[in-house]
Structure 1
């Protein structure tokens, strides 16, 4: 189709021109991990290791490195029920597989620290928005919030998500079942259905925003892999509508 061919040519020319100038930020991606009282030491470790494994996935690696000269910048933090979210991995541009491996090593070197028992999701979202504001000029801004329960303290996430520094940010969710070790499959599904409804009504926002589901923390790496692939393979491009001329030709 003429439209598709023309768009491809314009996009290629844009990247070629951009490569001669300053490097472009394709996407700023902030990952916020729930470490509230419902997440015990074993689950914390599964979450950290699951994220590291997701970042090591060949498909995710290819998605990160898909556009040369326009890297994805990533930062990772954890949040809980207090007012002190903790940075785990400061901002880093992913330009090579080595960069991704460095992030994995940083994650695996972490030591768990105590946090408050509550779930201040609004505070976690606000912290992520502040971090994203540190990366101006990116094509796309994405905030991920992982959690195994609803917010029960602090600012309400349904209000925080529309604060000014989050106006251009897409917020996605990754929800985790906490009863999967003892509950049957139907109970896990009911739990995740309820949590997904909450996330859709109070947490996620933006074009293409979605909620990914993990049946347990043992399934965290697979859920995170699916989520990262959806986010990294989504690049917003303004499609040009080529209208036919009076003779009906493109």
Structure 2
């Protein structure tokens, strides 16, 4: 039973778009309009049916998972939150929100119980050294592998989608030479040990994944001022929709995306 891990970096967040203008100061930021479009592109092109979706508990990673795989989420496949997938560093943009706030916003779209996420999972986050990041990545891989093994028998091939962050993903895939993924870029991996017994649970990229790598740089800092202004407006609209979803308790409201004439979103019905 092959287990394939599809690792995706979250789509563009506000901190990415404004990374030369103090974007790092935004705490646990949402996605921008470009980020939403990136998710629509992934949703349109992603060729696999996942048996599990696992994400960092940071809002941009949760949103990316919901929007990229909204058809599966709407059918009842929840997003499991795994704190070991959070971003490295302790800048405000890399500090998450309390569990109760995430549950209030995203409701049934997320499953915080699968990995026993604590209310204050994000509290007291400091700067990790290289060894600590490697160990956290190892623990994340072991948790992901355990989920895959628990799915044995559900499908001939097991596909797990994992949403994480630019600085942490090279540690997660145990390849510090892999380079930073573009926003919403995804690559596919399998476990190096076919017996699934190694305590390192190392991953290796599949050959067919290597052929589809993107060569485009992250676009956030290069956007024209007019588009950044539009992003801010759509960002505010998205926050308003999140609030409406919270008040209504409707998952369909969470799955809705703000639209503009220049951003045609292609979502599953």
* Larger RCO, structures 1/2 (Cα 8 Å, 6+ apart): 2
TM-score by length of 2: 0.31
Larger-gyration structure (1/2): 1
TM-score by length of 1: 0.33
